[in-house]
Structures are given as C-alpha cells and as structure tokens.
Structure 1
C-alpha cells in the first residue's frame, strides 16, 4: 500500500511554526536550525502541492489548506508525543497533571466526574493548585487552567478549548414560579434579578436572545460567587441566571425550577487554557480529550 502521509518531522515543524507564530521560535523549541524548519515546511508544501502558509515580513497566515491540515494533525501529533514520552518513562511511573480550576466548576461539575478519569487513566495523578482570576501563567504555574471568560478573544495567543458554561438558564424557587405564573420571558424583567459580578450584562443578553427586546432588566442583587447566587435563588430572593451545568442537581431535585427552559447560549463560558510554547504535561492531551468528551455528553442532555 502506498503511503500518502509525510514524515513526522515535517508535520511537527509545521504545527510548531503555527503554534509559535515564528520559524525562529519553532527552531528553538525543536532544537534545530531555522533553515531546517523552513525546508521541512517547504517539503510539506511540495508533498501536498499546496501552499500551507503565507509569509510576509509582518505576519504569517494559514491558507485554507493549512487550516485543514492543522485541524487534522494537531491533536494526533500531541497524542503520539504523549504516548512516546510515557513509553520512554516506563509503565510504572505516574505522571502528574497540575490544574487550576474555577472553584464552583471544580466542586460542582469537574470533581464528581474525576473518578471516571482516574479509572480510565490510573497512571495520571491530578493535582489542583489555587485558582487565580488573573492567571497569566507567569512564574510557577499549572500545566493548564480552566477559566471563565471569552476564550481566544479574551486571551489572544493562548490555546483555548471551550468546555461548557455558555448554556444559561433562569432559575428560581418553585413557590415563586407558582405564584407568578409568567406567560412570556419578558415578564421576568419585573422580578428581582440576581446576577454574578463578572457578568452583570448576562440578563440583558438573555432577554434579547429570547426576543424580549423592549425589556430593561434592573439587577436586584449581584454576587461574586456562583454558589452564593444559587443559594440566593433557593432562598427565594429572586430569579437568577446561571450556567445550567452548575444547577443540574438542584433542578433534578426540584429545589429550583426554570420558568423558561430555552436553549440560549451566551459568549462567556469555561475554557481549558494553556500557554503555547511551554512544555506541556504528557498527560494533558488525554485529559483534554476526556474533559471535552464529558462536556459534550452533558451539553447533549440539555434542551435543544
């Protein structure tokens, strides 16, 4: 059988150039000369007969063919590299993955699922370090962090994978919903609206998304922790807008209800973030894949 794939060294050179944004930085990371990187990318373009990178003195852009190749090979290359490092270290050695995670997501969503990851990957030990709202990966840092924000739009140059949390839902005490018997989502704007301090504009976005363009939300109380926001809704202080993944247990148990269970997604969410160019933990690719798989399963259970 004739093989159509190029060499691993050429693929590694291409992916590293894209990730670092520079032929010279890619050469430094791969411990070769800049000329070797340039020749490897040129051989790759010759192999496919397509231009993969458009280069100028100011910038470097991926062509459509380059984007297609990158999407196809980036994760398999990372997995092969991780497997190779694990084999070289030997089967008895435990690898450590150091994470920083938004506390509410960690306690409510991630930690209950971690036994599944440990059962699948008993050779990986997950260690948590304190979460920092202003994480910038300077100094001693985690291998990766799960942060809340806007992804690459907020952290340009980082590698960011959306995990979960854009799916929001209004929740309140069952007695409040029974008393009010709202007919339209716009009716909620007259209620005491509870919000989180990092995203006070979520209510306005949600009302626009459901077509309540004339409603002007006035926030009643703002909290700096999602866990307190949820407790306030359970105490019948008003209607809270929260990430559905964080209140599944309360909704299933009937401690909270959602008056309008609509499939609304906002811009902010939880992202798995890491800094390009820094040596990653060998276990990070398998954790990343496991994390995204579990998130997709959770999102699939939400109303469509």
Structure 2
C-alpha cells in the first residue's frame, strides 16, 4: 500500500480498486483484472509472476518487549499470540520449527487483515507472526520490533496473477510492469510461470 503512490505518479490516468479476499479468487465472477496471492504459483487459467518468497517474522511492541523481554523461543508461550484468519496455523509451524510443543501456544484473537494484526501488535495486545515485507515500515519506524530473530521460511511465495490467453488490459500491463519492477528493487528477481486451463 505505501508504494502505490509511486504507481499513481507514473500512471496518473489509471485507477486501482483494492479488495481483500480470504481463500481462492475467481476472476470471472468477481470482476477482478489482477490478483496478488500467496502459494506455489500454480493456478489453472492464470499466468503467475513471482514477486517474493515468504518469510514470517515474530513481532512485538517495544513496550511489551521492555516489560516482558523475549530471550528464547519458549518465552513466546507466555504471550498472547495473534493470528491472521487465512493463515491460522502459522504459529503452529513456527513452534514446530523451534522444536517446541505446539500445545504450549497461548492462542490469541484472529484478524482478517494483516494490517489490523500489525496495529494490534503495536498497541501491545500480543505478538504477531507476519510476512517480512508487510512490516518493513513499522520495523523501520520502531512501531514494532522483532520479538526474537527466528524467521520462518514457509516455502511459499507471493505472486501477481493475471488471466492467461487473453490480451491483457493496458491498465493491467502497466500495473504488472510497475509491480515487477518494484519486486526487482525490493526482493529477488521475479519469473513467470504459465498454467493453461
């Protein structure tokens, strides 16, 4: 979201309407021209453009970190662990990666949007586990900080999806070229994978 102002500077005549959806998306029934999703990039009838690999970071508010510091992964069991509804098993995977019994998880509330979860973390409600690229600005500003330097690499990636076969709309081409350029600047070099019907 913070980077969209750059797109509008470069393409002032193009409007982007943003919608958040949990689960699978249907281009034809939902009137979608493009989508960004996380997975393996395989989606029948769509062309996927890899943007970045997914790494999840455990984040905490500076005030909670000061009063209840995290010195070892097991210390997270004393905190309320916030979750994103679409990825409610992420903490289980993190605890498994740390070789800690998942039954010790102190399950907290779920949030539909990652941005809401980040706000909840910054206000001191609990600890969140969020994609690294979605929390860079908050980490840089000090609104949140790493609870502990134990990232979780999920093996999934974020992709831009466009319909396969048809000539893409000029607006979709402009957005594709812009976001791939941003991905090259901010992450690894993207690549394209086609998945015919």
Mark yes or no: TM-score above 0.5.
yes
Match of 1:113 in 2: 6
- Within 5 Å, give how 1:198-217 maps onto structure 2: 198-209=86-97, 212-216=98-102, 217=105
For residues 96-119 of structure 1, give each alpha carbon's deviation from its aligned partner in whole angstroms, at most 9, with x where no partner exists: xxxxxxxxxxx34x4143246x1x
Given candidates 149, 155, 172, the residue that maps to 2:38 is 149
Higher mean C-alpha displacement, 261-270 vs 213-222? 261-270
The aligned length equals 184
Secondary structure in 1 aligned to 2:87? coil
| Residue 136 (structure 1) aligned to one of 11, 16, 26 | 26
- The DSSP-based 3-state class of the residue aligned with 1:266 is strand
Greater strand share, structure number: 2
Q: Is the 8 A contact 1:174 1:254 kept in 2?
A: yes
Asked whether the 8 Å contact 1:151–1:161 carries over to 2, the reply is: no
- Higher relative contact order, structure no. (Cα contacts within 8 Å, ≥ 6 residues apart): 2
Question: TM-score with structure 2 length normalisation?
Answer: 0.78
2:120 aligned with 1:227: no
Q: Does 1:246 pair with 2:134?
A: yes
Alignment partners' CA distance in 2, 1:246 and 1:206: 18
| RMSD value, Cα | 2.7
The aligned counterpart of 1:256 is: 144
The residue correspondences of 1:39-54 to structure 2 (distance < 5 A) are none
For 2:175 and 2:93, locate their aligned partners in 1 and report how far apart those are by CA, in whole Å. Answer: 33
- Which residue in 1 is equivalent to 2:68? 180
| Alignment-derived partner of residue 14 in structure 2 | 126
Summarize deviations over 1:55-99 as a string: whole Å, max 9, x none. xxxxxxxxxxxxxxxxxxxxxxxxxxxxxxxxxxxxxxxxxxxxx
Return 5+ residue gaps in structure 1 as ranges.
1-106
| Superposition pairs of residues 49-60 of structure 1, within 5 angstroms | none
- Call closer, same or farther: CA 1:223–1:284 in 2, change over 3 Å: closer
1:265 to 135, 153, 159: 153
Q: SS of the counterpart of 1:126?
A: coil
Query: In structure 2, do the counterparts of structure 1 residues 268 and 160 end up closer, same or farther at CA, with 3 Å as the change threshold?
Result: same
By percentage of residues, which structure has more helix? 1
Q: Which has the larger radius of gyration?
A: 1
